[in-house]
Amino acid sequence: MKRRLRKLLSALLGAIVALVAMELLLSLAYKGFVVIQARANRAEVMGGADEIRILCIGESTTAVAGDETGRMLVPHTSYPVHLERILNERQDAVHFRVINNGMMGGTTATILATLQPSIDTYDPHMIIAMMGIKDTADQQLPGLEWLPDAIRSLRTVQLLSWAREAISLRRHAYVLDVRSADDLPEELKPSYNQLSKFIKETRMIGPDAELEATGDLQVATYLWFIDRHNQAADFLRRTIDRYGVGYNLLARVLVTGSRAEEAEQLMRQAIARDPAEGMYRVSLAEVLVDEGRLDEAQAVLEEADAHRMQFRYPPLVSGYIQLGLARIAMERGDYAGAIEILRLIRPSDRLDAMSSDFFPRVRLMRALALGESYLQLGDLHNAEIHLTEALQLRPGAHATMWMLSQVYRQQGRRDDEERLRRELLQRRQRMAEYFELAKLFRIHGDDARIPELFDEAVARIPSVAASYRELYAIAEREGIDLAVMQYPSFSLELLHKYAPEKDGVIFIDNEHVFDDNPDGYFFEPRFPNSFSHYTDEGAEVLARHVADTVLDVYAERIAQGGRGPDSPGATTSR
């Protein structure tokens, strides 16, 4: 018995010694690997490489900004686009290439899912990250973040994690060049809520619906969301050839890619191909409105209204025709006229329920437009009624809450706004709602309440901090400079609640970057579920601020005409 016990103890001790030895060896190997990777990256940057590549990651606040008309959010005015131009204007010793890897609607998990393929594709020297607002309390933690820190920090555990990541990378290998629905992991597929804003074709509803096209429409929407406009357009053309649907989504892709003339031609072709699809006329009118051609858009809709009984699902299409006419009146500043049009709409709960996967609900759009119109006319009572209805139909819609907050603030009802925002926060459990509540505190001089609010946010939504730890590890492992920045108007103190300071990580302070003209730099939030997007001018101001940090980081190389020693001179805070 004693001999057996000694053997068992010896085996156990041997296993412990082996694990400790393996942990020490792996720790040394890891440190050596990181040093080699970092030196290789810095040697290329400092040793005369043709260009310095910067990968910008984040949600739609990175992906897009307001266009010149103030009507749409588009990629060609985003801060990464401005950043590339500014960096190359300020010096000519090296060429900077800035890759916009922003993802519309992206959570930190989906952003990180595309990061490694992007690193493999672009081989960046620096990553600039601004992310977190879309995360929710029920979001899964990345990697081994669910383990205790002491266990997660063991190199043996990390080795197992890397093996797991290798399997995951094979699944995500094609996420930047998706060719079919099978190539797109389930967690990256746009939701029906996202699809419903853009599809809007009656052939996708009812007993004869082309539901087989859903996967392709999700792929195209995803490609559009990650700023692969040409790929999305090509994919949609193939979808149209195969299923006969996808025109309205393709028009949106083309318009946001500065191809409005092509979008107009497309919709006229769609009308000729399927005259019974009344929503093609609605989409054509939307394209014309985007171009500021209001009279032509009105003529298209009035003609469609005169022939509405020839379309599939006339009551549904008629509702959208009236919504389009009301929007034109609002664009002209005729809010009283818009209200008269909107009162003619009789929403059908049955049709709304049947079409909700591929159409925004008519009742919701009517309530939102009525609320906005009454707000513009100063009728705060009716504005509150309709905006509250819209918020009940789509909880958490930022544009609705933004307008409703104007009602409360004009009436001095701060407590009502805070109560409603807290109700939304409890219902949505989303990081964006914490940011919005923090804005309210700041407006009323209650800045002291904000740190405690973000402590609560980090505790309830652990995925944000977990994703930043994962990002730190990826950048260290790949030897890539990492810059993390806060959303404009918020402090680094709040950022460090979920993205703590770390040696070698650069932090960009954007708290006061918009102070001189916030109304001119923040885009009016008409985009669904938006969170403080920036105007073209605002994105440029942000890019100039970010460029200061980037040029400081690579100043030595630039000063030497593209050649310099083996260190980019990164700092820890800007």
Lowest mean pLDDT among 35-39, 53-57, 437-441, 548-552: 35-39
Q: What pLDDT, on a 0 to 100 scale, did the predictor assign at position 131? A: 96
- In angstroms, the CA 215 to CA 195 distance is 11
Tokens of 53: 């590549």
Nearest Cα to Cα of residue 232 among 252, 213, 202, 206? 252
Quote the percentage of the chain above a pLDDT of 90.
56
Contact present, 530 and 60 (Cβ < 8 Å): yes
pLDDT confidence of residue 79 = 97
Note the pLDDT of residue 465: 94
State mean pLDDT over 370-394.
95
Alpha-carbon distance values, 180 to 146, 186, 210, 223 (Å): 32, 13, 17, 11
Burial class (CB in 10 A: 0-12, 13-18, 19+), 244: middle
User: 477 and 441, same structural domain?
Assistant: no
- What does the pLDDT average to over 152-166? 49
**524 within some domain:** yes
397 pLDDT above the threshold of 60 = yes
List the beta bridge partners of residue 96: 52
Q: In this predicted structure, what is the pLDDT of residue 526?
A: 47
Q: Which of 65, 44, 146, 61 is nearest to 102 (CA)?
A: 61
pLDDT at position 146 is: 47
Q: What is the pLDDT of residues 473-505, one digit of tens each?
A: 999 989 999 999 999 989 999 999 999 999 999
Q: Give how far Cα 554 sits from Cα of 45, 187, 231, 503, 539, Å.
A: 8, 37, 33, 17, 22
Residue range 49-58: mean pLDDT, rounded: 90
Tokens standing for 205?
A: 């509803």
Tell me the C-alpha to C-alpha distance, in Å, between residue 339 and each of 287, 366, 407.
22, 10, 18
- More confidently predicted of 193 and 288: 288
Domain that holds residue 275: 172-352
Same domain? For 326 and 209 the reply is: yes
153 has a pLDDT exceeding 70: no
- Asked if the structure places residue 25 within a domain, the reply is yes
From 459, 485, 506, the end of a domain falls on: 459
Q: Answer whether residue 530 shows pLDDT above 90.
A: no
| Average pLDDT for 89-109 | 92
Find, among 366, 436, 361, the residue nearest to 396 by Cα.
436
Q: Residues 371, 307: one domain? A: no
**pLDDT at residue 145 is higher than 70:** no
SS (H, E, C) 476-541: HHHCCEEEEECCCCCCHHHHHHHCCCCCCEEEECCCCCCCCCHHHHECCCCCCCCCCCECHHHHHH
**Residues 412, 321: one domain?**
no
What pLDDT does 148 receive? Answer: 53
pLDDT score, position 35: 41
pLDDT at 531 over 70: no
Cα 484 to its chain centre, rounded Å, is 16
| 197 burial level (CB within 10 Å; 0-12, 13-18, 19+) | middle
Is residue 572 one of the residues assigned to a domain? Answer: no
Answer yes or no: do 445 and 413 share one domain. Answer: yes
What pLDDT score was predicted for residue 450?
94
Q: Is residue 538 part of a domain?
A: yes
Minimum mean pLDDT among 15-29, 79-93, 137-151, 293-307: which range?
15-29
* Torsion, Cα of 196, 202, 205, 211 (10° steps): -80
Residues 217 and 339 in one domain: yes
Please calculate the CA angle 539-541-545 and round it to the nearest 5 degrees. Answer: 115
> Would you state the pLDDT for residue 179?
75
Beta bridge partners of 507: 484
Same domain, 70 and 9: yes
> Is the pLDDT reported for residue 99 higher than 80?
yes
In a shared domain, residues 528 and 542 = yes
* Position 564 in a domain: no
346 located within any domain: yes
Give the sign of the dihedral formed by CA 458, CA 459, CA 464, CA 469: positive
Q: What pLDDT does 210 receive?
A: 85
Mean pLDDT over the full length of the chain: 84
Tell me the mean pLDDT in the region 325-347. Answer: 96
Based on the fold, state whether residues 94 and 117 are members of the same structural domain: yes
The rounded distance, in Å, linking the Cα atoms of 391 and 428 is: 12
User: In degrees to the nearest 10, what's the CA dihedral of 457, 476, 101, 558?
Assistant: 120
For residue 202, give the CATH number of its domain: 1.25.40.10
Among 352, 379, 406, identify where a domain stops: 352
Give yes or no: residues 190 and 309 share one domain: yes
What is the pLDDT at residue 272?
A: 97
- Count the domains in the chain: 3
- Give me the pLDDT at residue 185, please: 76
Domain boundary among 417, 441, 459: 459
pLDDT for residue 37 is more than 50: no
Q: For the residues 127-156, what does the mean pLDDT come to?
A: 70
Q: Is the residue at 49 inside a domain?
A: yes
Residues 433 and 544 grouped into a single domain: no
Q: Are 244 and 274 in contact (CB under 8 A)?
A: yes
Q: In terms of domains, do 131 and 32 share one? A: yes
Determine which helix (DSSP H) or strand (DSSP E) holds 131, and give its type and residue range. Answer: none
In a domain, 144, yes or no: no
Tokens 């922003």 found at? 102
d(CA 361, CA 16): 62
Q: Tokens for 312, please give them.
A: 């599939």
Reported as a single tens digit per residue, the pLDDT across 213-234 is 999 999 999 999 888 889 999 9
Answer whether residue 24 shows pLDDT above 60. no
